[in-house]
Structure 1
Amino acid sequence: MKTEQLISLLKIKEIYGTLPEDVFDITIDSREVSEGTIFVALKGATTDGFDYIDQAIEKGSKMILSDRNRELPEGVGLLKVKDPVKVSALFAEYLYDFPHESMTMVGVTGTNGKTTVSTMIHNLSMSMNKKSAYLGTNGFMINEDTYPSLNTTPETTRLHKNFNEAVKKETEVFTMEVSSHALKLGRTFGVDFDIVIFTNLTQDHLDFHETMENYGFTKGLLFSQLGQDLKKTKYVILNNSDPWSKEYATMTPYEVISYGLDESADFYPTNIKGSLEGTTFTLHTPDGEFYVESPFVGDYNIENLICAIISEWLQGYDLNDVIEAIKQMKAVSGRLEVLDNELPIHLIIDFAHTPDALEKVIQTIRPFNDGKLITVYGMTGERDYSKAEEMGRIASLSDYVVITVDNPGNDDKNMLIDIVEKGMTHDNYTTEIDREQAIKIAIDYAEPGDTVFLAGKGREPYQIMENHIKEPHRDDLIALNFAYKKYNFPGYEN
């Protein structure tokens, strides 16, 4: 694309040096630079792209985008702008030819449930014979193919690359998790969503947002940024049970469809019957009543599933077909997932790392548990410590607790354990700073009929340790290894 055409989109800018005649790509990562790439020198929370300009130039970049100037070699130009994030989103749109416009864009936000709802929509879209993409905590998927993703919602140039890759593979529906960090930092600038979904808002990320009010209104950007063009068909799906939904409904002119657990919602369930193998219920909708057989466990997963059903309905699918497809769905990886039904104990993993999520999972497991409920929980390092005591109190709803750590980073592990321990309401617990050993303690303590619940990580494949080094770690594989050894499963190799 002609550089002159790109910079003509901006009214206020300063040009230093000599800009190239053409550019073809844009990135904030100097390692991705090649000839024809615009390098965006952004200042981040831990690194400053300005420090990598020389590396980008060595790799072939002739155009730097930044909010600061510096001396440059001959033949290289710098475009200085007030807001490089907004400009990089604008340039990415034009360089990749507005890739999301050819797809149905679905955005899911909320404290808990984003991954589950987004994955459900992705799987249902494929069941409806649509080519589908998913982007979020579990990575970037195009149909069944999975690619790594560093953030729940990537920064804007990477995000638009993902859109472009999906379009090249003829994707029709693109469902993505939209984090509050992404909304506040402008990562979703330029994304024209067709359907947006709100799951819930509970305490989390106060280290970043400082107050729940800031956190709530930041989530609201997803709804306000849908725009005002009523010639476009857009929809908003809101949780009738969460008070923030009333606020979000005022932020958009588009039609709101509500869901919840009572009849005040447009979509709601009755006759709920469940087990650790799944749930059945009657779904009440504007199109009538439907009997649903679901592989998902718990009331909150009923709400998550209803979100996904509404999303498909809004895309024009017959509810009978959508509900029939649900029978073939599998549990979402790492979300209230029972690891092996053949074991004499129940091994369950979940990503629950907020007070609301942890309490909901424990309350969901309780009715289906014949023996003791044993929970392994660890406070995440370098995060909002104000929830730690509450997490300890909620973990105490279990019969026995092993307090450990989760991605401690540069924090003192003993401190992370101590702040959770302050919230414990009984003495039936132990502490262990090594998470692998904490899992072993829980499984050694368990007897047939008991449930061991590993909270906080799901299938996350690493622990973030000192200096933010990611060490390989899988709660699920570690737990299965110890359980198979304890119960002498055939084929187990020590």
Structure 2
Amino acid sequence: MNSKTLISLLKIKQTYGSFPETVSHITVDSREVDKASVFVAIKGHQRDGFDFIPQAIESGCRFIVSDRHAALPDTIGLLVVKDPGKVAALFAEYIYDFPHETQTMIGVTGTNGKTTVATMIHNLSRALGKNSAYLGTNGFMLNEDRYDSTNTTPETTRLHKRLYEAHERETEVFTMEVSSHALKIGRTYGIDYDITIFTNLTQDHLDFHNTMDEYGYMKGLLFSQMGQNLKDRKYLVLNDDDPWSGRYRTMTAHETITYGMTARADFWPSDIEGTLEGFNFTLNTPEGPFRIQSPFIGHFNIQNLMCAIISEWLQGYRLPRIVDAIATMAPVEGRLEVLDKTLPVDIIIDFAHTPDALDKIIDTIEPFVTGRLIFLVGMTGERDLSKAAEMGRISTRADVAIFTPDNPANDDPKMLVEALAAGAAHDNYHSFTDRTEGIEYAIDIAEPGDTIVLACKGREPYQIMENYIKVPHRDDLIALDRAYRKYREEEYATD
């Protein structure tokens, strides 16, 4: 991409020094630059990119974007702009040649269910024979190839690079989770969505958003930014059971499709039957009823699955074909996932970390518990502590509750555990400042027939510790290792 062309896109700017003739890459990470890169110095929550300009130059970068002047050699081009974040998105679009235009773009937002819905859409797209990409909490997937991703919604230059990589693989549909953080700070600038989906809105992230209203309206940016051109066939998929859907319906000129648990919605379930193997139901649609056989557990996963079905229907697939493809899908990893079913106890992991999500897990699991329900929950560090006591109360709906930290970062793990315990509704709870110890204790006290739920992390592969150091950690592997050791030892003892 010609540097002069990029610079000419801006009406207000200041230029200093000499820019390279062409560039082919853009980033906000000084460790990723070379002589063909644009480095955008963005001020983040923890670090200021301006401080890393020397490192970028040392790595060969000759095109710097910043919101303030810096004394640089004349051989380095410095572009000073009012909003580096918006410029990063604009330049990325031109450098990567608008890759989202060749793909059906689907954005999923909401407090709970984003990962499950987006993953279901990706898996259903693959079952229907399409090249598909997924981007979100569980990483970046191109068909079956998986790559790590550091954020639910990556910063704007990395997001556009992912779109370009998917385009290069001839991806037909790109489904991504869209967080309220990303919408507020503009990570999704420039992305032209074809289908947007709203799951629900419950208390979360009030450490980042001042009020629930602010949180809700930031989510609404996804819908209001879909554009006014009605020649573009775009759709908004709304949860009819959530009152925020009424507000979001007014934020777009495009057609809205609703799903929910009652006949008010365009898509709704009836005749629900369920076990820990999966839930089956009749899906009532504008084209008539269809019987669904699914591997997914819980009423909330029926809602999530309806989102995936609707997204494929809106892309032109017939409902009978979609229904047939559902039977080939696997459960979503880390989301109400039942681990090794040969064990004499049921071990379930889930990412739920809000009061509403915890309540729904227990509502789903309780009918299938034959022994005791042992429920482990963690409180995340440097987050909204006002929800901790309610999370602790909900956890004590179980026979035994276990409180641990979850990604404590620079917060005191003891303080996080005490915040959960403050809401306990009975005394049969146990607190651990080390999550691994809490998981092992849950396995140790379990008896055959008991159900153990490990909430808050799913298959997240790390714990964020002091100074934001990521330490390897997997709830599922820790639990399975302890369970195998326990029950193998018991087998040996009886031989």
Are residue 248 (structure 1) and residue 248 (structure 2) matched? Answer: yes
1:31 is aligned to 31
Give the Å deviation of 1:20.
2.0
Q: Which residue type is aligned with residue 439 of structure 1?
A: I
Q: Per the alignment, in what secondary structure is the counterpart of residue 207 of structure 1?
A: coil
1:164 is aligned to 164
CA distance in 2, matches of 1:95, 1:30: 18
Q: Which residue type is aligned with residue 223 of structure 1?
A: F
Mapping of residues 348-387 of structure 1, within 5 Å: 348-387=348-387
Q: Per the alignment, in what secondary structure is the counterpart of residue 209 of structure 1?
A: coil
Q: Which residue type is aligned with residue 418 of structure 1?
A: E
1:411 is aligned to 411
Query: What is the alpha-carbon root mean square deviation over aligned residues?
Result: 1.1
Q: Per the alignment, in what secondary structure is the counterpart of residue 208 of structure 2?
A: helix
Give the Å deviation of 1:341.
0.7
1:75 is aligned to 75
Residues 295 and 331 of structure 2 are in contact (CA less than 8 Å); yes or no, is this contact kept in structure 1?
A: yes
Mapping of residues 136-285 of structure 1, within 5 Å: 136-285=136-285
CA distance in 2, matches of 1:378, 1:195: 34
CA distance in 2, matches of 1:136, 1:75: 39
Residues 25 and 38 of structure 2 are in contact (CA less than 8 Å); yes or no, is this contact kept in structure 1?
A: yes
1:312 is aligned to 312
CA distance in 2, matches of 1:183, 1:190: 12
Q: Per the alignment, in what secondary structure is the counterpart of residue 51 of structure 2?
A: helix
CA distance in 1, matches of 2:20, 2:472: 43
CA distance in 2, matches of 1:193, 1:491: 55
Q: Which residue type is aligned with residue 400 of structure 1?
A: V
Give the Å deviation of 1:490.
11
Unpaired segments of 5 or more residues in structure 2? none
Give the Å deviation of 1:392.
0.6
Q: Per the alignment, in what secondary structure is the counterpart of residue 358 of structure 1?
A: helix
Q: Per the alignment, in what secondary structure is the counterpart of residue 295 of structure 1?
A: coil
1:488 is aligned to 488
Unpaired segments of 5 or more residues in structure 1? none
1:426 is aligned to 426
Which stretch shows the higher mean deviation, 7-16 or 108-117? Answer: 7-16
1:182-203: CA deviation from partner (whole Å, max 9, x where unpaired): 0001000000000000000000
1:472-492: CA deviation from partner (whole Å, max 9, x where unpaired): 110000000111111118999
1:51-104: CA deviation from partner (whole Å, max 9, x where unpaired): 111111111111100111110012101101111111110110001000000000
Using the size of structure 1 for normalisation, the TM-score is 0.98
Mapping of residues 112-123 of structure 1, within 5 Å: 112-123=112-123
What is the number of residues matched between the two proteins?
492
Q: Per the alignment, in what secondary structure is the counterpart of residue 487 of structure 1?
A: helix
Q: Which residue type is aligned with residue 347 of structure 2?
A: L
Q: Which contiguous aligned blocks of 4+ residues in structure 1 show a shift greater than 6 angstroms?
A: 489-492
Using the size of structure 2 for normalisation, the TM-score is 0.98
Give the Å deviation of 1:37.
0.6
CA distance in 1, matches of 2:491, 2:155: 45
Give the Å deviation of 1:164.
0.3
Q: Per the alignment, in what secondary structure is the counterpart of residue 282 of structure 1?
A: strand
Identity fraction in percent: 65
Q: Which residue type is aligned with residue 322 of structure 2?
A: V
CA distance in 1, matches of 2:461, 2:385: 23
CA distance in 1, matches of 2:181, 2:383: 13
Give the Å deviation of 1:434.
1.2
Q: Structure 1's 101 and 474: CA in aligned 2 closer, same or farther, altered over 3 A?
A: same
CA distance in 2, matches of 1:57, 1:475: 42
Residues 127 and 329 of structure 2 are in contact (CA less than 8 Å); yes or no, is this contact kept in structure 1?
A: no
Q: Which residue type is aligned with residue 4 of structure 1?
A: K
Give the Å deviation of 1:340.
0.9
Residues 223 and 252 of structure 2 are in contact (CA less than 8 Å); yes or no, is this contact kept in structure 1?
A: yes
Are residue 134 (structure 1) and residue 125 (structure 2) matched? Answer: no
CA distance in 2, matches of 1:490, 1:7: 70
Residues 16 and 74 of structure 2 are in contact (CA less than 8 Å); yes or no, is this contact kept in structure 1?
A: no
1:476 is aligned to 476
CA distance in 2, matches of 1:200, 1:270: 21
